[in-house]
Structure 1
């Protein structure tokens, strides 16, 4: 079932009513509901008429999405490669999502969270090192900080995996994608 059909029926609109509201032909609506992917002006007009985002309208059909939540969970859990490989928390999910052709808002969020975390980790570590020297703190504060940050990242990955399993979304995410 096409996303356009789902959203059109949610609003109780006929194909003719939607065509008029979006200023496109009824035949265009029929083609899109049959599986053609809308682009350009048509995509913009339909999104505006339905008051939804482009991502929502272009999302795979509901059944395909349900079947892919297990894959999303595996892509998220692949971030745990950070235990063994430097930058594995970014590289592994990227490889999996492109290999399985599962590039969507959730997978982009998974990678974006790991990119932000990978950037934040050395910044926080350096800040703690400077603060530790400045305040003459114990030398073990820095290793403890690094272990704590590592544990926090593992928690983020595991918590997101649980949330994908239960509610089909991320528990910890960003309001933006980095790619």
Structure 2
């Protein structure tokens, strides 16, 4: 059973409306609707809030998350850190290749690949003037900084913790905008 369906069933068993759940959790009614319909997968803090309001354990909802394209949680735990680790190569090709190969199998791989690619492009852009003006000490510091950030973010992704690339310019968007015909 999908998480949204389980949330809806638990909500109905408690006899509360989507509006009631929204007010208990400080989550918008529209977000509750989108979660229950399966349009979006809720984030961990959203699940925690909903679980508290419904009087169930967080794990009850979290363990009910669907796998993506047949990939197991182990696949995700392996490929997402590898995408981040590929940033150490200072080449844009490895994250792109991994993204293309696993895009139908690993949930959120697009977001992670785009974050790594944006970071690599950003660091490269910052390095150009340093090379042109021969400011090698700062260039070396930038290189070391970028490698440390990549390693730390790989560790965070491996531990299923949120990560952040600082100094990142958003060249690519993590999610495609859906066009509406209305």
Q: Report TM bin, short chain.
A: 0.5 to 0.7
Conserved? CA contact 2:87–2:95, under 8 Å: yes
Conserved? CA contact 1:7–1:50, under 8 Å: no
Q: Please state if 1:49 is matched with 2:33.
A: yes
Cα deviation for residue 76 of structure 1 reads 1.8
C-alpha distance after superposition, 1:156-177 (max 9, x if no partner): 22111111222x1342247x76
Per residue, is there more helix in 1 or in 2? 1
1:171 equivalent in structure 2: 163
Change (3 A) 1:127 1:103: same
The counterpart of 1:71, out of the listed 76, 79, 82, is: 79
Larger Rg: 1
Structure 2 alignment gaps of length 5 or more = 20-28, 43-63, 175-182
Written as runs of structure 1 = structure 2, the 5 A alignment for 1:8-23 is 8=8, 12-14=10-12
- For the aligned residue pairs, the C-alpha RMSD in angstroms reads 4.0
Change (3 A) 1:155 1:6: farther
SS at match of 1:56: coil
Rounded to whole Å, the distance in 2 between the matches of 1:54 and 1:21 is 15
1:25 equivalent in structure 2: none
Conserved? CA contact 1:73–1:161, under 8 Å: yes
Change (3 A) 1:55 1:81: farther
Cα deviation for residue 126 of structure 1 reads 4.4
Question: TM-score, normalized by length of structure 2?
Answer: 0.53
Q: Please state if 1:119 is matched with 2:150.
A: no
Written as runs of structure 1 = structure 2, the 5 A alignment for 1:25-36 is none
Cα deviation for residue 65 of structure 1 reads 5.6
Q: Count residues with an aligned counterpart.
A: 135
The counterpart of 2:100, out of the listed 89, 98, 101, is: 98
